[in-house]
Amino acid sequence: MTQLNSVNATNRLKYLLEQINQQAKAIDQQNTHSTSHKLIENNNLFSEHLFHCRSDQFLHYVKEVEERINDFIRLNSSSTQSNNRSSLAITTLQQIEQQISALYNAIQANAAMHQAAQINFDAVKKVKIKYAKQKNENNKYHDVTSKVLSSSHLLYEKLNEHHEFERRLLNMITEREQQRSVAKQVNSEQLSKEVLALHQRLGRCRHAISIIERDIEFAEKR
């Protein structure tokens, strides 16, 4: 890679990263005030093979890419060139491009990820409200009510588990989509199959959620 090409490539990546940096600041600020974010704030946004950073804030990952670009510029500024140095430069730039692409895709998927977390949050909240109301039932029907409460409580726990499974599936789909966007053709085809399989599992999960919700409604009416 020539010095001119290297400068052009790094300038382009720095420009892209600056655009992402502005979005990351806004998204991190938005997530800070999001109730649903509290459910996922301890989760890492990316896998270990893509970033060394461990955080639920986008700006930390932007900073890692920025530091890597600066390190690359310093290492590549030497006038001494070789085939190994050129090959290493190309590989490093490709890895930086993958990181930037993954950041962009994750920012676009932020709303969907938090929507899934909100569904889980609402399900837990609903369990608490329903259970509290049912505890205040007339003592006259204590025995019958206890059975209904027990049945409903178990169903709500099962519903909560399925909502958590739904959230994890959505996260897995988002991660595979990120990997597919930067993968080579052979890997992309494999990732596409994985995405399809995950969507099928998500469909079955949501079908199960519908059945559980119906059972809850029936149990409470009974």
Shared domain check, 50 and 74: yes
State residue 23's pLDDT score.
92
Other beta carbons within 10 angstroms of residue 143's beta carbon come to 8
Q: How far apart are CA 22 and CA 30, in angstroms?
A: 13
State residue 99's pLDDT score.
92
Shared domain check, 61 and 137: no
Q: Whose CA is closest to 96, among 174, 190, 16?
A: 16
Say whether pTM exceeds 0.85: no
For each of the chain's 222 residues, which pLDDT tens digit applies?
A: 556 566 788 888 899 999 999 999 999 898 888 777 776 666 778 888 889 988 888 999 999 999 999 888 877 776 555 566 677 778 888 899 999 999 999 888 888 777 776 777 777 777 777 766 766 655 555 555 555 556 677 878 888 888 999 999 998 888 888 888 777 766 778 888 888 999 999 899 999 899 888 888 887 776
Shared domain check, 35 and 120: no
Shared domain check, 89 and 27: yes
Shared domain check, 169 and 76: no
State residue 137's pLDDT score.
58
Contacts 24+ apart (CB under 8 A), 199-206: 199/173, 201/169, 202/166, 202/169, 202/170, 202/173, 205/162, 205/165, 205/166, 205/169, 206/166
Q: Which of 63, 90, 108 is the last residue of a domain?
A: 108
Backbone angles phi, psi at 2, to 5 degrees: -70, 160
The two structure tokens encoding residue 108? 């676009």
Shared domain check, 47 and 128: no
Q: Which of 69, 93, 108 is the last residue of a domain?
A: 108
Shared domain check, 208 and 115: yes
Tally of domains in the chain: 2
Shared domain check, 123 and 97: no
Shared domain check, 116 and 37: no
**H or E segment to which residue 12 belongs:** helix 3-32
State residue 145's pLDDT score.
54
The two structure tokens encoding residue 77? 């500024």
Shared domain check, 215 and 118: yes
Between the two ends of the chain, the Cα-to-Cα distance in Å is: 74
Helix (H, G, I), strand (E, B) or coil at 35: coil
Asked whether the beta carbons of 40 and 115 are under 8 A apart, the reply is no
Q: Which of 84, 108, 132 is the last residue of a domain?
A: 108
The two structure tokens encoding residue 202? 């998500």
Shared domain check, 126 and 29: no
State the residue range of the domain holding 202: 111-221
Shared domain check, 140 and 76: no
